[in-house]
Amino acid sequence: MNWQAISFDWNQVRAFLATAEEGSLSAAARALGQTQPTLSRQITALEDALGITLFQRGHRSTDLTQSGIELLEHVRAMGEAASRISLTASGQASTVDGQVTITSTDTMAAVFLPKILRKLREQAPNISIEIIGASEIRDLRKREADIAIRHARPDQADLYCKLIGETKGALYASRGFLDEWGRPKNPEDLKNYPFIGFDRNEEALPYFREMGFEIGLENFRISANRGPAIMAYVREGLGITPLTHDFASLYPELEMVLPDQLKALDVPVWLVTHQELKTSRRIRLVFDLLAEELTAILKAQTRP
């Protein structure tokens, strides 16, 4: 490692990260318990050390430059590592106990969480985890859950939201279904096919238009609000449905529909918790581990 190339300190990095995530210098200063001028000086020192501009400073906003956006991913990883190092160094990781409730889709709970939970058990064996696999959104403000993994950012201002990354989705059907119905030749043909929908199909129609085709509510011949049921129906050959690539890849009998003609669907992954994140060691530890591991998983999926 080239130690001499590391010309900034952690306080400068933390100031940049807090400002980027909180959205302004004033909000970051409150979060860190510092004054705004002190925070501004630390960011300026980091910019000088790196030789780049991190923010476009406006009258009412602080927007990241392209250099700032590129740096943010690495700095977030540093922040998560620093938090966990502090816990480990003080011996807290192994002694933190209590229950943390995580809510996510059934798919996320079954595909992504098992290996993450194994790592959590190794680091913090006294924390117990309750997983609520459900499509409906649990109310974090009412403490129905401590942490949520969601594909849409909540609009409640008092929740802490962190964009982890995104996965990709497309239309899938079983090969048996496509053999029976025939493979569509173009997006217009999809109007003649049955679809398997979720519980609020009208909300999916704009996303389908974004992908490059249009259907109506009448195309949804079967609907369900749980992932395992939807997978059972599509594998049985009852219709076409949108799935993320990582989940569809678990079932070799599924085939992507019109892969060269439809735009891939961007599916963001948000990690959400309530403000107790700042005071609860067990929630902070689980949140940071989820953020680190999910970021690595999603990054690996985007590599060629």
Lowest mean pLDDT among 10-24, 202-216, 228-242: 10-24
Do domains 98-156+276-302 and 167-266 share one topology? The answer is yes
CB 230 within 8 A of CB 198: yes
**Per-residue model confidence (pLDDT) at position 130:** 92
Q: Say how far apart CA 65 and CA 226 lie, in whole Å.
A: 40
What is the residue-averaged pLDDT of the chain? 83
Higher pLDDT, 142 or 36: 36
Domain locations in the chain? 3-89, 98-156+276-302, 167-266
What does the angle CA 297 – CA 300 – CA 304 come to, to the nearest 5 degrees? Answer: 155
The greatest distance separating any two alpha carbons of the chain, rounded to the nearest whole angstrom, comes to 68
CB 159 within 8 A of CB 272: yes
Q: Say how far apart CA 270 and CA 163 lie, in whole Å.
A: 5
The segment with the largest mean pLDDT, out of 106-115, 142-151, 179-188, is: 179-188
What does the buried/exposed string (b/e) look like for 38-52 if buried means 16 or more CB atoms within 10 Å of the residue's CB? Answer: ebbebbeebbeeeee
**Per-residue model confidence (pLDDT) at position 212:** 95
Q: Judge whether residue 85 has pLDDT over 80.
A: no
What percentage of the chain exceeds 90 in pLDDT?
29
Q: Judge whether residue 138 has pLDDT over 60.
A: no
Q: Judge whether residue 304 has pLDDT over 70.
A: no
| Architecture field, domain 167-266 | 3-Layer(aba) Sandwich (3.40)
**Per-residue model confidence (pLDDT) at position 247:** 83
Q: Say how far apart CA 32 and CA 19 lie, in whole Å.
A: 10
Torsion sign over Cα 215, 219, 223, 227:
negative
Q: Which two tokens stand for residue 235?
A: 């594998």
What digits encode the pLDDT tens for the residues 201-223? 898 899 899 999 999 999 999 99
**Per-residue model confidence (pLDDT) at position 165:** 84
Give the CA distances from residue 237 to residues 71, 172, 178, in Å, rounded to whole numbers and listed in that order: 46, 11, 8
- How far, in whole angstroms, is CA 78 from its chain's centroid? 18
Superfamily designation of domain 98-156+276-302: Periplasmic binding protein-like II (3.40.190.10)
Torsion sign over Cα 203, 206, 212, 214:
positive
- How far, in whole angstroms, is CA 119 from its chain's centroid? 19
CB 138 within 8 A of CB 148: yes
* Residue 303: pLDDT band with limits 50, 70, 90: very low
**Per-residue model confidence (pLDDT) at position 109:** 86
Q: What is the dihedral of CA 196, 230, 106, 203, to 10 degrees?
A: 10
CB 53 within 8 A of CB 65: yes
Q: Say how far apart CA 102 and CA 109 lie, in whole Å.
A: 9
Where residue 165 falls (left for φ over 0; alpha for ψ -120 to 50; beta otherwise) is left
Name the β-bridge partners of 133.
104
Whether domain 3-89 has CATH 3.10.129.10: the reply is no
